[in-house]
Amino acid sequence: MAGKSRKSVVAAELRADTSKLSSDMASAAGIVRKKAREIQRGVDDVGAGTAITGKGRKGATFDAGREARGMAGGAMGLAKGAIAFGGFYGAQAQIRNMIDFEDTLVDVGVQAKLTREGMNRLRESVLRSSNATGIAKEAYADYIKTVMKATGNQELAFGSVDEMALVAKATKTEMGALASIVVELQNKAGLTKEQFREAFDVIAYQAEKGAVELEDMASRFPMLLGNMDRFQHKGMQAVKEYGAIFQVAKRGNTSVEETATSLNDFFTQIIVKRGEIEKSLGIKLKKDGAWLQLGEMLPLIFDKMVEIEKAGGKIGKGKKAKDVEAWAQGTFDIRGMRTATPLMALARAKWGNVGSSESWGGLVNTQGGQIAAMAAKRDELNPLAEWRREVNRVKNQMHTDMLPALKKFADVMPAIGKALAFLVDNFTTLVLIWTGAKMTSFLSQWQAASAAAGGGGGAGGAGGGG
């Protein structure tokens, strides 16, 4: 009995939704009928004018100009109706976006233990920053929420968001992705919030001097940080060195994806074969139980290899001795060799002239200000930058203006919330159904108009003669 009752409730709910949809479609159908009558009136005028006269195949005359105007009017009616219909339901979707944004701020506020006044200040701050950069307020809110959720660090989340918005613009990287990188920079590289901007300035400088563009460098930052963590390398110097080796490794690879794979394999071989490398080259890669920093480890390995190579010697003893190239291939693996080869070239050149962008020192010794300059350059070169910023500002102003009304509206929301949610959730479907119905009616009327035009004097066009 309980099951039957539950089925009745579900059926009633479904009928309620169907009824609402039917009501909307009935209203749309009314618009269809109205527009169809307008088209038909255009059809009735066929043959009445004399401005542009043509002949049917059996001598019937008709006004082609008026027919065209009637059809064009119907097409405009279709377009305007679709815009109006989409606009209404689009407004509901905008309300949903507003609610989602406010919900995100509430999540942040709860975790950060903000007061209502604190929430208001947070909202104002986000909207003000969004207006300045042109980056959507939702992106700001998501960034703060992601960092807060991962670290629980309110100061980190709030204190880094404006800097990362600038990075997002310069690197064309999503704020959500940057939030994940910031968390990794803190956890694995041990950077403070004051150093995040410098870290991205580093990769921007290296991208300018090297072979991997800034967007690709930013997207590979998590991979670099993962390898830093494997060696327990931390700090800004480590960030500089790992960025530099990525640029160097690209010289031995054809794509950024190959470079990432090669670099990972190269580091894996060093970790797995540390004992063999140390024994073969007579070096130590660890000191007091900790890995040497990358800027010290790499010259130690490759300078020794170059020294042996120049002396015409081999690595190893007896029958197992190999020339340097063969030993390197066996040690670093095929993929790892695509990183080892350009490092070997640098070692042969004594790591290059420090002032040269081709050198190790030229990549590690960075200059600041790259991110701000690149963000400004994007604005300067993009003819739509100001337009996009203004559109974003208008959306933010709408949010500010509509928020008080929505608060008052909240009192009656329980009564209409379900219907509103249904309309918002089914916005795309409703527009498609409505536009489809309109288009079908419009095309059928067009076909009728063509048939009438061709058969007005008893003669056929496509459908005439019958």
Per-position pLDDT tens, the chain of length 466 = 454 454 444 344 434 444 555 565 556 556 545 655 554 554 454 434 433 344 443 444 434 444 444 444 544 454 444 444 444 445 556 667 778 888 898 999 999 999 989 999 999 999 999 998 899 999 999 999 999 999 888 889 998 999 899 988 888 888 988 898 888 888 899 998 888 888 988 988 888 888 898 888 888 888 999 999 999 999 999 999 999 999 999 999 999 999 999 999 999 999 999 999 999 999 999 999 999 999 999 999 999 999 999 999 899 887 788 999 999 999 999 999 999 999 999 999 999 765 566 789 889 987 777 888 888 888 888 887 788 888 888 888 877 877 776 666 555 545 555 555 555 565 555 555 555 555 555 555 556 665 665 544 433 333 333 3
pTM over 0.75, yes/no: no
Instruction: Give the torsion sign (CA, 416, 420, 422, 423).
Output: positive
Contacts of residue 195, Cβ cutoff 8 Å, sequence gap at least 6: 185, 236
Tell me, what DSSP letter sits at residue 292?
P
Cross-strand pairs, 286:
291
Structure tokens at 433: 């159904």
Strands (E), 170-303: 286-287, 290-291
**C-alpha–C-alpha distance, residues 337 and 334, integer Å:** 5
Q: How far is CA 226 from the centre of its chain?
A: 22
Instruction: Give the torsion sign (CA, 204, 183, 233, 278).
Output: negative
3-state secondary structure of 315: strand
317 by Cβ neighbours in 10 Å (0-12 / 13-18 / 19+) ranks as exposed
